[in-house]
Structure 1
Amino acid sequence: MAKTKSTRVKAPANLPAGEALHINCGSHDVGTSNPTGRVATDGGISRGAQFLKCKKPINIATMNTRTLKNPHKQLELCALAKKYRIEVLAIQYSELQFEDLPEGFQLITASAYRNKIGASIGGVGILLSSSAKIAMLSVRFITSRILQVTLGGNPKTTIITTYSPTNVSGEEDVEEHYKQLNAATKSVPTHNVLIIAGDFNARIGLDDAKFAYHQNTNRNGDFLLEFAQENNLIITNTTFQKKKSKLWTSLVTANIRLSLRANNKSPSKRVKYDWAKLATDPELQDRYTLEIKNRYSVLSDDNCADQTQKYNYLIQANKEAAEKVMPKLPKKQRKALCFDSRVEQARQHLTEVNKRHVKENTKDTHLEFEQSKDELDQAYERANREFIENKLKEYEEANLNHRHKLAWGIINCVSGRKKVRSGRLKDDNKEERLKKWHDHFKNLLGNPPQVTMENEDIPTIFHELPIRTDAFDMEEYQKAKMAIKEGKSYGEDGIPPEVIKRCNIDIIILDFCNAIKYY
């Protein structure tokens, strides 16, 4: 069992056949793995400790984060997950939507709602690392207190994060919460690894567990015990003795051997080349022209009359030439503010002060602890101010050099503005979406013109126009070529405008133009 500042529950290696392993995250945080008692989908296949034979161990944790409205807290959450190598972190009391965070982390949340007096109620989320994110198959929003995520693997892993009402809440609210949680648990296929992690706001007493933190079981504890018994779950933190310093923790981590697999639906990353360099480097233009011509001549056949096939040869030749000749754009990895040296120093100081405060628990240590938290916030503000100042300098330089795309990218980065997904219609079936698109274009294009006299003669304005109808010549092609704007995105063929404008493949392109004209 790794020694960290959190409680880690190592999976036992001698589970009896048919017994499940369950991870409990404390009196306030509970997790479970591969429970029995769910809806059987495979005729009741026996599940023992077979999933423990997976080679890769991962850390799964749960934590009540209070609130994550402050961007600094979001970054601290990423720093915490990276420090302890946490792949999946279930969080409670979240008020955010989908967020892409530094270091490849992604936060998926079911936001809290406001009650009559304006207080936030519920709110859960799951923070996924980059490796766990690519294995994500589905997200199921159940309530503002229950969120379910399924990860691909052998077997698949389903993670449910939950935030139970407090012990002073109405009994009807608690009953409804456990009813929905019980339904979500039973809906998970039997062969899936199931992990439930959350803040149950419950106390388990010594009468119900051998190693319990509290003396007596409260009302929420009774609900939790009933839920665990019905689904054949074990409150794991009450089955072994913990150190005194670990009896009460805010972060609970379990080390489990799981086999996560990347989702096949994940789009492959496209290689980015420095096409701007092709527009300014004559030597690179000559090398690229020679390479694409040679490769195209090898692929194409003079006897091939299919223009589509010949154009596919050009696309392949361009792809291979780019791989061989073009320099790749360096990856821009912005160092997150949470890993700034000043922030890390302030965080380390806060950790040391917190240790001393937990040990001594005096007014002086409490005051020092609060001051250390303020110093951490100030370190974030200084790092963020310096980042914005550097970005403003980059913006001024880009604006002076007329690099407007780069300038707008800097503005979006500083302002936090993201791309809006447009063109997607939210409907249950294909027929409703088609009807909406039909109505949209009908309103866009308008109604047919009202013709009063069908046989009315329309006078001819131009009798003869100076429009050539013969084949395109090189002079026309050169005029069109000079009008091409560089720096624009290329289409599905992957041929950027810089290649057509700067490389001498005029005869190949002109042949395509004339072939299509008379095709």
Structure 2
Amino acid sequence: MSPAERNYGIGDRELLAVKLALEEWRHWLEGAAHPFTWTDGEERWMKEEKRSRGGRLNVSSFQSRENRRMGGVCVDHKIREELAHCVEERGVEILGIQEHRRVHTEDPIAYNRVERCMFISASAWRNEAQAATGGVGLMLGSRARKALRRVYHHTDRILSAEFSGNPATTVIVVYSPTNVTSYDEVEKFFEDLATAVRNAPVHNFLAILGDFNARLGPEDVPFPYHDSTNRNGCYLAAFLTEHELLAANTIFRKRAGKRWTFRDRATGALRQLDYILVRRKWRNSVMNAEPYSTFCSVGSDHRVVSMRVRLSLRVSKPSPRIRYNWRAFSSDPGLQTRYTEEVRRQFLQLDREADPSSEYKRFISANEEATRLWVPKMERVRTSMRSKHPEVVVARSRVEEARLSFEREPTAESRGELNEAKQFLFRTYDTIRGEELMERVRRVQEAQGCQQYGEAWRVINEMTGRKRTKKGQVEGHTPEERVTTWTTHFHRQLRKKYNQSSQTLTSMTAPSHSESLPGQKPP
């Protein structure tokens, strides 16, 4: 078996054996008296087996290079929605993002919900012209979001996250200085990155996702795109050797078109600047790593680098939560009558002379049983996503066609058609957003006319993005930190209470200056 075939799972090896057997005995099958057919049952089995196969994770890195404005119009939120669509559509569970160019000075780390994904970002910074630049972040799918344990902000260029899994996983997202930056800044970046790697537990699966602005040559990695190594590449090669790491997208034999990650918009030159680094001991867990053009609708000049790895995130199964529609129950007298009869029937079975605590528990269970029987349940309604709107789908296909045309003939005319298609896609997002806002305004007016002010305020909060304040939220990134915070809080409260009691006791027992002790003369 070839080195790539040795990485196959059991199911893939069995299918490989079937393929080799068919090739070996093909002349017997073609001349057999009974025809041999490959039915759709086998195809369905292959699809089901591939879909149900666990322990596979798609970890990717993308240099989004977001332009906050395009054609004089702000497209920030539209780019994030399109990025979330690409993440969900391509099955990416953890996406490292570089140069998102979002500045938030309130908190070093910002958490935002984008459609069904979670966007975690470290703030970008401003250059001498006060333009936003840099910034790293993570876009997490539903499973990765539930498995997230903690996020740590190292520097403006380095962000790390830890996930529960088998094994536990540490992901570091980095954005390196360019190749023309001063030596001191590049050395400082790699020193900070080395500190972040040393802080990661040794037994964790470590993945470093980043735009390193580095070219690696054949003397440093097995299958590079370039013939030589530049200055940043020398730093990166030394870093790989020191920490026993591999550049995953350079260890598989690929054609040149499956290696480059960046296309220069001015000259059309192709380069390999983005890498996914893993520890050498996890080499056999990496199934494949290569760049794709599937994120072209976002508008970046980089391609997404994806790695498929044998890894499973550990997500606890939540207990099913049932939500009852009490508003429908309050407007239906028939349901109220049956609910009352059920509670009365259960109440008559109580023993008045029994222990009050046990009878109270039975009374509570009687109410729960009546609620389960006669109160209607609320249906779970999924919010519609703009990225899946039919008009957006058509606009996205137009961008894909323009991209393919530009790759076939990279002329100024085809580049203009591609930019026009991207602007049309973002204008479509604006049109749909406007329609949704008008629909919400209509709902507010209807709720106000029916004197349903709570519903009106709920829709207004949805429109403005105002969220309910967190009450009772204990600080801490991990369960252990939250327990420590809780324990420290109670220790302080008990110590404060003890000090107050001691002061009260002292004031009660201490003699007054106006009174003399027995046998003493007053002052």
Q: 1:374 aligns with which of 423, 443, 447?
A: 423
Partner SS, residue 161 of structure 1: strand
Following superposition, the deviation at residue 253 of structure 1 comes to: 1.0
Following superposition, the deviation at residue 68 of structure 1 comes to: 7.7
- The structure-2 alpha-carbon separation of the partners of 1:11 and 1:268, relative to structure 1 and needing over 3 Å to count, comes to farther
Spell out, residue by residue over 1:369-420, the C-alpha distance to the aligned partner (whole angstroms, 9 max, x if none). 0110111011111111111111111111111111111111111111222223
Identity among equivalent pairs (%)? 32
Q: 1:304 aligns with which of 342, 354, 357?
A: 354
The residue type paired with residue 170 of structure 2 is T
Q: Which residue of 2 aligns with 1:99?
A: 112
Following superposition, the deviation at residue 239 of structure 1 comes to: 2.6
Partner SS, residue 174 of structure 2: strand
Q: Distance in 1 between matches of 2:326 and 2:310?
A: 44
The residue type paired with residue 179 of structure 1 is E
Following superposition, the deviation at residue 225 of structure 1 comes to: 0.8
Q: Are 2:334 and 1:283 equivalent residues in the alignment? A: yes
Q: Which residue of 2 aligns with 1:167?
A: 179
Q: Distance in 2 between matches of 1:287 and 1:11?
A: 65
- List gaps (5 residues or longer) in structure 1: 1-8, 16-53, 439-519
Q: Distance in 2 between matches of 1:113 and 1:296?
A: 66
The residue type paired with residue 141 of structure 1 is H
Q: Distance in 1 between matches of 2:329 and 2:145?
A: 36
The residue type paired with residue 434 of structure 2 is R
Q: Are 2:139 and 1:127 equivalent residues in the alignment? A: yes
Q: Which residue of 2 aligns with 1:342?
A: 391
Say how many residue pairs are matched: 391
Q: 2:83 aligns with which of 77, 91, 109?
A: 77
Identify which range, 424-433 or 396-405, moves more after superposition.
424-433
Q: Which residue of 2 aligns with 1:247?
A: 259
Higher RCO (Cα < 8 Å, 6 or more apart): 1
Q: Distance in 1 between matches of 2:314 and 2:147?
A: 5
User: Are the aligned partners of 2:63 and 2:99 in contact in 1 as well (CA < 8 Å)?
Assistant: yes
User: Are the aligned partners of 1:59 and 1:85 in contact in 2 as well (CA < 8 Å)?
Assistant: yes
Q: Which residue of 2 aligns with 1:204?
A: 216
User: Are the aligned partners of 1:90 and 1:125 in contact in 2 as well (CA < 8 Å)?
Assistant: yes
Partner SS, residue 134 of structure 1: helix
Partner SS, residue 234 of structure 1: strand
Q: Distance in 1 between matches of 2:206 and 2:347?
A: 54
Spell out, residue by residue over 1:43-87, the C-alpha distance to the aligned partner (whole angstroms, 9 max, x if none). xxxxxxxxxxx9331211110112385110111011101111111
Q: Are 2:270 and 1:257 equivalent residues in the alignment? A: no
Partner SS, residue 241 of structure 1: coil
The residue type paired with residue 83 of structure 1 is E
Spell out, residue by residue over 1:332-367, the C-alpha distance to the aligned partner (whole angstroms, 9 max, x if none). 212111111101110011011111101210011001
Q: Distance in 2 between matches of 1:295 and 1:257?
A: 54
TM-score w.r.t. length of structure 2: 0.68
Q: Distance in 1 between matches of 2:449 and 2:5?
A: 60
Q: Distance in 2 between matches of 1:297 and 1:143?
A: 67
- List gaps (5 residues or longer) in structure 2: 10-52, 69-75, 105-109, 262-302, 477-483, 495-523
Task: Give the alignment of 1:480-495 within 5 angstroms.
Answer: none
Task: Give the alignment of 1:23-422 within 5 angstroms.
Answer: 55-67=54-66, 70-94=76-100, 95=102, 97-102=110-115, 104-249=116-261, 250-263=303-316, 268=319, 270-298=321-349, 300-306=350-356, 308-421=357-470
Q: Distance in 2 between matches of 1:279 and 1:220?
A: 68
The residue type paired with residue 183 of structure 2 is E
User: Are the aligned partners of 2:406 and 2:414 in contact in 1 as well (CA < 8 Å)?
Assistant: yes
The residue type paired with residue 338 of structure 2 is R
| RMSD of aligned Cα (Å) | 3.1
Partner SS, residue 324 of structure 2: coil
User: Are the aligned partners of 2:474 and 2:485 in contact in 1 as well (CA < 8 Å)?
Assistant: no
Following superposition, the deviation at residue 429 of structure 1 comes to: 5.8
Q: Are 2:7 and 1:13 equivalent residues in the alignment? A: yes
Following superposition, the deviation at residue 301 of structure 1 comes to: 3.4
Partner SS, residue 216 of structure 2: coil
The residue type paired with residue 372 of structure 1 is A
- The structure-2 alpha-carbon separation of the partners of 1:259 and 1:431, relative to structure 1 and needing over 3 Å to count, comes to closer
Spell out, residue by residue over 1:100-150, the C-alpha distance to the aligned partner (whole angstroms, 9 max, x if none). 121x21111111122443233431111111122111122222222111111
Q: Distance in 2 between matches of 1:318 and 1:10?
A: 61
User: Are the aligned partners of 2:248 and 2:307 in contact in 1 as well (CA < 8 Å)?
Assistant: no
Spell out, residue by residue over 1:427-454, the C-alpha distance to the aligned partner (whole angstroms, 9 max, x if none). 996698679999xxxxxxxxxxxxxxxx
Spell out, residue by residue over 1:24-55, the C-alpha distance to the aligned partner (whole angstroms, 9 max, x if none). xxxxxxxxxxxxxxxxxxxxxxxxxxxxxx93
Identify which range, 204-213 or 136-145, moves more after superposition.
204-213
- The structure-2 alpha-carbon separation of the partners of 1:332 and 1:193, relative to structure 1 and needing over 3 Å to count, comes to same
Spell out, residue by residue over 1:284-321, the C-alpha distance to the aligned partner (whole angstroms, 9 max, x if none). 001212223334555x4322343x54443333322232
User: Are the aligned partners of 1:11 and 1:256 in contact in 2 as well (CA < 8 Å)?
Assistant: no
- The structure-2 alpha-carbon separation of the partners of 1:194 and 1:281, relative to structure 1 and needing over 3 Å to count, comes to same
User: Are the aligned partners of 1:202 and 1:218 in contact in 2 as well (CA < 8 Å)?
Assistant: yes
TM-score w.r.t. length of structure 1: 0.69
Q: Distance in 2 between matches of 1:393 and 1:140?
A: 43
Higher strand share: 2
The residue type paired with residue 85 of structure 1 is G
Q: Distance in 2 between matches of 1:255 and 1:285?
A: 55
User: Are the aligned partners of 1:10 and 1:255 in contact in 2 as well (CA < 8 Å)?
Assistant: no
The residue type paired with residue 399 of structure 1 is Q
Task: Give the alignment of 1:458-469 within 5 angstroms.
Answer: none
User: Are the aligned partners of 1:156 and 1:193 in contact in 2 as well (CA < 8 Å)?
Assistant: yes
Following superposition, the deviation at residue 258 of structure 1 comes to: 1.3
Q: Which runs of 4+ in 1 moved over 4 A?
A: 9-12, 422-438
User: Are the aligned partners of 2:343 and 2:366 in contact in 1 as well (CA < 8 Å)?
Assistant: yes
- The structure-2 alpha-carbon separation of the partners of 1:117 and 1:315, relative to structure 1 and needing over 3 Å to count, comes to farther
User: Are the aligned partners of 2:123 and 2:136 in contact in 1 as well (CA < 8 Å)?
Assistant: yes
- The structure-2 alpha-carbon separation of the partners of 1:333 and 1:11, relative to structure 1 and needing over 3 Å to count, comes to farther
Q: Distance in 2 between matches of 1:11 and 1:191?
A: 26
Identify which range, 327-336 or 348-357, moves more after superposition.
327-336
Q: Distance in 2 between matches of 1:437 and 1:376?
A: 57
Partner SS, residue 98 of structure 1: strand
